[in-house]
Each structure stands twice: as C-alpha cells, then as structure tokens.
Structure 1
C-alpha cells in the first residue's frame, strides 16, 4: 500500500508542524531541493525536502543600489564567500592592517560607482572611514575590508541577515507565503524541513504560511538524514507497484476464465463488477433507452440495479474511452467495444491504476467474446431456422433432433411465442434470450417453448409486442361463449395419431350439429387435443399482431379468444359493419329484430316480451327485410344481424 504523510511521520518520528488535515495524502516520490521555485521540476504528489538555504541566500541579496555591502555579497557565490572567510590568514592578507584600508575603500568605491552613485564613489575613495560607513556593518573598517565576521554577515551569518529572511518582518512573511503557494499549486503532498543545518528550527513564518494553505509541514530533525526518508518512500512505492502487478495479474486470470467459460459476456461483467467494487453495464448503443436519444439499452448489467444508470449515460459517437461524472456523483468510465456495444464501469470514487488496467483487460476480452458470439450466433441461427422449418414439416423428426441438441428443452407439447417490433429491439431481444430456441425472421422473432415470464418481461422492457399460443387443454368447440378454436401446444410424436383422430371426430361432430349453435359444443366431444406447430405458429402470429394493433406489450391466445368472437373483430371495421346493416332501421324495428333473434325466432315469446301483438311483430320484421334487402329466413342473414346488434350494443 502507498505510504501516506501520516504513516511516514509516525514511522520516522517526524513532528507535524502544520497542515495536519492533509496527512492522509499519499507520497508519490521524494524530491530534495534548495530552489526557491522548484515547480518546473515537480509532477505533483512529491514530498519536498529542504534545509531552507534558499531563504538565507535570498535574504542576503541586495535590495537597493545604496546597500554596498549587500551588493558585494550578492556578487560573490555563497560557496566562495564561505571559503574566503574560512582562513583568517587569507582574509588578513586580503585586507591587510588598517593602513591599506584605502585599497578596500577603492574597491567599494568601484562597486558603488557601478551602482550609479558617483558622489559616493569619490567619497569612499578618499576616506577609509567613509568606506567603513558604506559597508554598513558595526563601524569596523576590517568588516568592510572582508574580515571574518563581515564576510559571514554578507552570506547570512549575522543576525542582521537572518532578520531579513526569518524574522517577523513583512518581507519575510510574504516570501514564505509565496513559496508555499507555489508548492501548493504544483500539487506537492507536503514539505519536509530539515532543522539543525541552516536553521536551528523551522522558521515560524513558514509554519504559519503552510498552516494557512493547508499544506502539511513536517520537521526533519538533524539526526534523521534525508536519505532515510527517500529510502522509506522508495520502498513503499516499490511495494505498492508490486501489489498492483499482483492484483492486475490475478484480475486478468479471473476475467480470462470468465470469458472462456459458458457464461459469456455476462460472466465477464459480473466478475469485473466484483474486481473493481462497482457497477458494470454492457450497453447496445443501437437501441437507445425509450425516450432518451443518445443512450444505450442494457444488454448485461451487474448488479441488476445498475440498469437505472443507462438513461443517464450518453454513448452517442463514442470511440475509444471516455470518462464522465453522473449527477449522482458516480465516476464512470466508458469503453467502446465495437460499432454499437459500450462497456460502462462506475462507482463513487475514481478507479486507481490497477483497476483501470483491469477494466482495460475486461474491455479487450469482451470485444473478443462479442466477436466470437456473433460468429457462433450466426451459425446457431441458421441451425435453428432449419430445425424450425423441419418442425413445421415433420414434427416427429424435428422434436427428436431438437431434444438432442437442446437437452434443456421441456417435454412436448411446446408453446410458441412471436415477438414483433423495431429491428434493433428485436435483435437485442434475440441476443438477450441466450441459449433459448428462437428463430429471427424478417419481421418477427419466433421462440419455441419459451419461459413465459422471462420472455414477457424482456418484451416489456425493450418496448416490443408479443403474442403466445394457447396453453392447451381447452375444449375444441366450434361455438359457445369463451371456447377456444383449438389448443395451441405443439404435439409430441406420440400424440400425433391421437390428435389426427380427435380432429376427424371433431369435424364429424360439427357437421352433425350445423343447425344449432348450442349443439355444436357437445358434438365436438369437448375433449383435449394437441395441434401441430403450424397451428401454434398461426395463433402466435395472430395475437402478436393484435397486441401491436391494440398497443399492448403482451397478449396470449387464450386471453385474446376468451372474450368471444367479437373480440377477434377490429373495432373500427366492426363498427362500420354494424352501422351499414342497422342504419336503415328505426328504433322500434331494431328492438323487434333483437328480441325475435334472442327468442330463437319464436314470434309469440318475442311479442310477449315486446308487449305487442304477434301480427304487429311480423309486420315489423317484414319492414326490416324491405329496408335492408336481407331475408330473415337465411341463417347467415340472422347471424349477420346478431353480430351487428352485438357490436352496436357494446
């Protein structure tokens, strides 16, 4: 794990002088420097180590042209100045006794002349005392001539020089504030100040400036060498990098096992979610979320609640990788896997380097898995299509073959579902079905033996319309309210002969009962029978089309036919038919016709209900025939009148 400032301070015994709120910052590296402005050499995240030498040199620099002693000190390199004062004999030789002080004064005069003050130059040249005054020291000529104490003062050894840099003066405080501000803007993790080298203690001005900026300031005592801190941070960085390598290696192995397993892209999505401790979406940008253009419909999601983020992710025109931040605060990384598929990974905090590498690995594996799935899906699609055609032509052979290739298929009889809608939504539906037996056709998707609840939920989520054949077990009645035309289950091979026999018996019973609708139901035998795949397919196609026309997402054949014959008629067409048949008739004629049909053509019973004479009823019915041009003696005409009356009464 990376080393934080707080951990380093505790391990090395470094006092924290300022910015304790930032001790959780991770140290990226250690950078010792004595520059006043080292920002050009920083990347951010460093612990900057300094002894404060830069402040001493800055304090010794001249501030005006009249400060002759400061001008000389700034002109000389700090190391040379220290060397010059390190040997008293050399200093005496350079200065001599007081008699050659005028020579030193000449030098000072020359320096002052360069500073632009001719009058001062002449004065200094002729008067050693003036030279001594120009030096600005304690009044000693030897100080002006370069004596040890004076030289030391020139480079910051005297208390006067120290006062300029580290004292409570306004200039010193401004210098520290500017220094700290530069480092904070450069993004350094903190400052480590080495005490006991140049400064006996950390300058109070620096402590105040660091605290004001919230930048951690650690004191590095003289007994703790900078190299010890560098080694500690270097070891922590190396350990962290090794842990990252190990973590990414394990993540790669887990993702690879998931990719080559039977779970496909879904398994990779689930594994990736656990590895990065976040949510993961696989989006189809070709099918946007309903009402939200530029988004993508979730194909895979983990956890399931991640689907709610799909509407907030703009994946339009994505190529490569892009980061975004949701209104919820989650940080999201988007990866384009192919021309239409997008991987989205999100969580509350940004991914670290290892997690980003793991996500990149998952994106590569998913791209390969999607390509492999497309190739396999093409072959499987052709196989399913051929077997479905065989199912319509030869059920015995088709059922046996399908059961061998799809052992998870249930025992026949099978129901059939048909799904209609936009092409993109139908493709997404077929892909989401996985290993289910489905056939993608030009205008619909056919599913054999579907898991009804799962298919219905998927149809609703993708905005499609679906219909499913009868569940079977309904009487095969010709008439009667609520009867089904036939069972819609696909017959098993063993039931084929029995189904054919039952169909023949039903047909014979219907012929015998043609004169009475009430007898038709009993004549059919009321038995159960399974029908062929072709019949089940016709049922499913019919109810799928009805579901789309009625703007319903899902409709079953039993539900569709259970409300009677009138439910099968389009409302608009039925209303037009009823109006055409009944519009020539007045209200009393319509009521007479309705009552007569309901009483099965019995004049006396109908006349009694209407409270009129039976001859009056006959007269009204003849008027109906005259106005409509239809004969009530025809069963077909009576049926048409009944349908028209039923529609008008809805």
Structure 2
C-alpha cells in the first residue's frame, strides 16, 4: 500500500489514501506559486534515480533509455532520426509548474496548464472502453498538461495499450511510475525546488532593491542607478528623455542604437505602445515609458532575452520610479535655470553688471572685460538639442552665455566662444545674426545689431560687420529692399512703358538717373543725354510729380537716388 496525498487545499471528493490509491493532491498550490520561475523539467524527474520514472511515449519500451541521455534535452548517441526520438529532447526540456495526483475520471477542471498528473490508473480499471481513454487524454491535453504518469504494478501490471495509443495520438507525454515510488515524493521534490527558487528570487529581489536604493542615494545618482540595474539584470540599459534623445546614463550598444531610438520615439508617441520588441536573433528590448502618454518624461530601455519574471519586473519598476523623480526634478531644474538665465540677461542689458555678475557668475562664470559679440536666433530656434549643445560648450572654449528673450535665443560670447556658437548654429540649421564687437556696457547695442544682421542678411549666419562694410546701400540690398524701390519708382516706370512716351526719346528713369550721376547739373546731364537742358528740367519735374516727391528737397532727392541704385541692382 502506498500513500501520497499532499494535503494543500486539495479536493478529495471522498477519496482517501487507501487500497493503494492516491487522493487528489495539491490543487491550490499553483496559486501560491504563481509568478515564480519554473526551474523543474520533465528531464529532471526522469533522470532522478530515486524515482525510477520511465518515458513510455515519446520513447517506446524498446527505445533508448532516456536516463542515458546525459541530461534533459540532449539526444543519446546513436539515436535514430525517428519523430518520437527527435521529440524526446524537447519533451524532457519541458518545464513543470506543479505535480498533481488524482484517480478521478475527469480531473481536468482542477488542473492548470504546465502541470504533470500522476495516477494509479484506477479510472481505467474494469470495463472502461478505449473511447474513455481517448476522451480522458484529450481533456488533459486540451487543458495544457505537459504529461501523464501512470503507476505499474498496482492497479495495472502495465499501462493499458489504449492509454498509450491515446497519448500518442494527442501528443501527450506518458511516463511509467514504479510501484515503489510514492507520488508524494515526486510532489515534494518539485515543491521543494519551487520553494527554494522562490526563496532565492525573493532574496535576489531584496538585495537588488537595496543595491538600487543605495545607488540612487549616492553621488552618482541616476547614472549609478542605471549601472546597478545593468549589473543586476546582466544586460545593457539606457535612458532617454522626453524628446527621445539618449541621456548619458547607460546606453544601447552601437549595433542597436538607431533601432532602439526609433522604438523609443514610437513609445513616446503611441498611446498604448508594445513593451517588448525584438532586436533580432534571441535578443529583445523592453521599453518602459516614464510619466504619462500626455506628459512623458522619458523612456527606460532594458535588454532582455526572455520576459522578465516578477522579481525582475519589481526591480525595473523601482528604477522607473526613481528615474521618474530624477527626470521630473531635472525638468524643473532646467526650467528654473532658463528663467535664471533670462533674468541675468535682462540685468546685463540694463547695465546692472555687478548684480548680473553676482547672479550668473557662480553658474556661468564672469563675463570677460574684452570685446564681446551678441548673436540672436529667431523664435523657435531654441530646440532642446541646441540648448543642450550650448550648455555643454559653455566654458569649454572661451566664454559663452545664452538665454531666451521674447521668444528669441540670445547668445553672448567672446571671440573664441562665438566661433563655437556659429558652428553649433550651423550644425543645427539655425539662422541667426551676429553683432559687431561690443563690451559689457554696450550689449543693448549689440542686441540691436544682431537683430538687424539676422533680418538683413541672406546668409544663414548674418554678420553685422559684413553689412557695415557694404554701407547703407548694402544693408538695404541685404534686407531685400529692391522690391520696395521698384514699387516706389513704379509711376515713372509705367510712364516710360507708354509707346507714345518712348517715341519722345530718353525715358524718365534714364533722365533722372543721368541727372543724379551728373551731380544734379542740368547742363552736364543734357550733354550726357544729348538734349537741351530745358528738356532735362522738364523731364525731372515730370518725374517728381509722378513720384510725389519734391526733387529740390534733399531728403526726397536722396530717397529717389537710392531707389534708382537699388533698382539697377535688381
């Protein structure tokens, strides 16, 4: 007589451990072990010498002994390529979630996928038909069981052929359990391993949580936290900001960097993104959004080869919480720094240099006494990437200060620092204007010059010095004033286009231009045009009337002359 009922929330249904039969053991244990890893395999049970279990299917009685395989999942030497023998390693590598024992005619309602069922086979005794065996095995297979173990030498001297055939048809592994092996021993064997694994995972989890907490409170802060996560999970981890840019904490390997960044962008912009993505081969990346879909703070990417177990998930969740706090603080700090920069800029522009120096110097250094230049980029140029680049460059080469003002990005630097500023603006495709040389007391003038250079220049980086070299006319040309000149001179241009006017000789435009180029001398203009000086007077007077300008007035005369020069350029 054998006893093996494991009384763990079992449903006995009136069956008792008597007459060599086993009760229904351990139906509620799965709930207790839910979430734990499953380190026990069918191969572990078959190769355990204390049990003497034997595979009946997929290995037949006269097939190779699975215990001679050298461990689960390894094919025996000299094995043939039959479908049964090639399936054996895969079967033996199947993980066991739990082991039950029951002789009920239909135990399926109390079973869960991934479990192994042991039975004395009493349900197959008497006049049970072959159809009963087929339906019984079908119910177990449909329930997701990984195998059926039947005793030999108690109810049946050997496993009924109908059961063997039914298992073969439904692909359900079938094991033979010797008479001497109590089911409770197999159940306790699996339970002990699962319990030990749960204990080890709990200890690992507690140790990892403590390590991450210590890292977060260290001087390394968020960087040390990500490093600790990498060590604990045995793979790389990377942190990205709300714009999808990698932060200097951890990092994806070069071969996956672009792919991961693309996946991060999708995670940030998709309301319910997938959390796990394949990177090819057996490698994948788990992406966890930090913050909400409406206000994301960033994304944590962690390399994985399999879905995380609960302990690893808990660790990642802890790191996410710490990263969320750190990134929120970083965002708030960045906002305050931007406000502080804007305030310091206003102090500089208002001439309160001593106050500005006390405010800004501890963070950005004291402005040099030598010449400075001011650069202005229009509204919308202050991208996070450019601001980060300017922040990194400040103090690297020369002195650089930048701040936002009325939506524009204002940069102040010495000569060396401004070279870096120009390079960064060009690299980010930002148009800007750069002033001439100023000093700390004349920054307001530099701001005006930079704004004028940006407005007037056709170059991506407009230089005020270049505009000054071309004079006022150059400034007007650079600002696109030719169109204004054409509109101003339109009345005489339209008059010159009249065929009747063309027949009279030189146009009004040519006459006025010749007059200006002759120093406003009627006689010299007449000789240039080959007409009488009274004709020149008449035409110039007519042009003044059409233009609505008094050409005897120096101001009107200068405007018309400048318009003619711009029209010639056009």
Deviation readout 1:475-495 (Å, 9 max, x if unpaired): xxxxxxxxxx623xx747xxx
| Contact kept in structure 2, 1:180 and 1:213, CA below 8 Å | no
Q: Following superposition of structure 1 onto structure 2, how do residues 30-49 of structure 1 map, counting pairs within 5 Å?
A: 30-49=99-118
Of residues 45, 48, 51 in structure 2, which corresponds to 1:12? Answer: 48
Q: Name the CA distance, whole Å, in 2 between partners of 1:542 and 1:247.
A: 64
Cα distance between partner residues in 1 of 2:205 and 2:116: 27
1:411-453 superposed Cα distances (whole Å, 9 cap, x missing partner): 974755556239xx97898799878765455635556668648
Aligned to 2:407: 443
Q: Distance in 2 between matches of 1:637 and 1:367?
A: 68
Q: How many residues align?
A: 453
Instruction: Give ranges in structure 2 of 5+ residues lacking alignment.
Output: 1-36, 59-86, 395-400, 498-505
Q: Does 1:179 align with 2:139?
A: yes
C-alpha spacing 1:418/1:355, structure 2 compared with 1 (3 Å): farther
Q: Give the deviation of 1:199 after TM superposition.
A: 3.5
Structure 2 vs 1, CA of residues 225 and 269 (structure 1 numbering), >3 Å: closer, same or farther?
A: same
Distance (Å, rounded) in 1 between the aligned partners of 2:142 and 2:563? 91
Distance 1:271 1:408 in 2: 39
Candidates 157, 170, 183, aligned match of 1:226: 183
Match of 1:241 among 185, 198, 211: 198
In structure 2, the residue matched to 1:589 is 507
Q: Which residue is equivalent to 1:580?
A: 488
The aligned counterpart of 1:107 is none
Residue 316 of structure 2 is aligned to residue 352 of structure 1 = no
| TM-score calculated relative to the size of structure 1 | 0.54
Give the drift of 1:282.
Answer: 4.8
Give the Cα separation in 2 of the matches to 1:455 and 1:6: 63
CA change 1:314–1:361 in 2 (3 A) is same
Structure-2 residue corresponding to 1:402: 360
Aligned to 2:95: 26
Q: Deviations over 1:48-92 (max 9, x none)?
A: 333333333xxxxxxxxxxxxxxxxxxxxxxxxxxxxxxxxxxxx
Taking structure 2 as the reference length, the TM-score comes to 0.60
Q: What is the rounded CA distance, in whole Å, between the counterparts of 2:219 and 2:181 in structure 1?
A: 59
Pairwise mapping of residues 49-448 of structure 1 onto structure 2 (< 5 A)? 49-56=118-125, 156=126, 161=127, 164-165=128-129, 169=130, 171-184=131-144, 188-222=145-179, 224-249=181-206, 251-253=208-210, 255-256=212-213, 259-260=216-217, 277=235, 282=240, 284=242, 297-298=243-244, 300=246, 302-303=251-252, 305=258, 306-313=260-267, 334-335=288-289, 337=291, 340-341=295-296, 344-345=299-300, 349-373=306-330, 376-377=333-334, 380-381=337-338, 383-392=340-349, 393-395=351-353, 398-399=356-357, 402-406=360-364, 413=372, 416=375, 418=377, 420-421=379-380, 439=403, 443-444=407-408, 446=410
Structure 2 residue 444 is matched with structure 1 residue 534:
yes
1:432–1:34: structure 2 CA closer, same or farther, 3 Å change rule? farther
Q: C-alpha distance in 2, partners of 1:613/1:370?
A: 81
State whether residues 415 and 536 of structure 1, in contact with CA within 8 Å, keep that contact through their aligned partners in structure 2: yes
Q: Distance in 2 between matches of 1:593 and 1:300?
A: 67
Per-residue deviation, 1:354: 2.6
**Would the alpha carbon gap of residues 633 and 407 (structure 1) be closer, same or farther in structure 2, given more than 3 Å must change?**
closer
Are the structure 2 counterparts of residues 626 and 545 from structure 1 closer, same or farther at C-alpha, using a change threshold of 3 Å?
Answer: closer
1:612 and 1:212, CA in 2 relative to 1: closer, same or farther beyond 3 A?
farther
CA distance in 2: counterparts of 1:229 and 1:411, whole angstroms: 85
1-structure distance, mates of 2:222, 2:307: 24
